[in-house]
Structure 1
Amino acid sequence: MTITGLVTALLVGVTIGLLGRLIIPGRREAPMWLTVAVGVVAALAGTIVARLAGVDTHALNLLAVIIEVGLAGIAVVLVVATASSERSDST
């Protein structure tokens, strides 16, 4: 993974993590640091998946960014949905 790919994945992860808190309706049970961390880890995983799929990740590539955004978005939605359902069941 190059510096460009790493920086892109970090920016995508932080952005998706923050946007996920704003877009998903309902109470915000999951802490902000958790959604950002999950977004970053999933975006980095997206870079790895894109690389394994044969996408060039040495430069800024739209397909790699789309894969990163997709994985980060899914991961953030799952974490926020899981956090709110666990806490609401226990009360």
Structure 2
Amino acid sequence: MLGGLWGIISTIVVGLILGVIGRLLAPGAQKIPIWLTIVVGIVAAFIGNWLAGVFGVRHTSGIDWIRHIFQVAAAVVGVILATGIYAKVKGGQRTGS
């Protein structure tokens, strides 16, 4: 049970880190809530892992820098998309996080 809980916690932490990096690197102001930042980061982690597998660089010796680059790129794109979608869903009102 503790292993499952740790997996959930680590997924949220990785999602938060990737989401924040995506927000920092995305152009313009991102007016999305923190929960959406975390969701974008979690999805970006999965997309980055998948892309690394497609390109055959998911598992390398040492730190998987290329996989992390794919994850960060996916987070940036995800934040840009989420910002646009969130603004439309909120009726054009841009609220703070």
1:16-42 Cα shifts (integer Å, max 9, x gaps)? 313417x6416x2x3211121111112
CA distance in 2, matches of 1:38, 1:56: 20
Do the aligned partners of 1:35 and 1:80 also contact (CA within 8 Å) in 2? no
Unaligned runs of 5+ in 1: 1-6
Do the aligned partners of 1:16 and 1:76 also contact (CA within 8 Å) in 2? no
- Matched to 1:66, the amino acid is I
Deviation for aligned residue 1:80: 1.4
- TM normalised by structure 1 equals 0.65
Deviation for aligned residue 1:87: 2.2
RMSD: 3.0
- Matched to 1:36, the amino acid is I
2:75 aligned residue (72, 76, 79)? 72
Unaligned runs of 5+ in 2: 1-9
CA distance in 2, matches of 1:56, 1:84: 34
Deviating 4+ runs (over 6 angstroms): none
- Matched to 2:86, the amino acid is A
**1:55 aligned counterpart, secondary structure:** coil
Deviation for aligned residue 1:56: 3.7
* Greater share of helix: 1
CA distance in 1, matches of 2:84, 2:51: 24
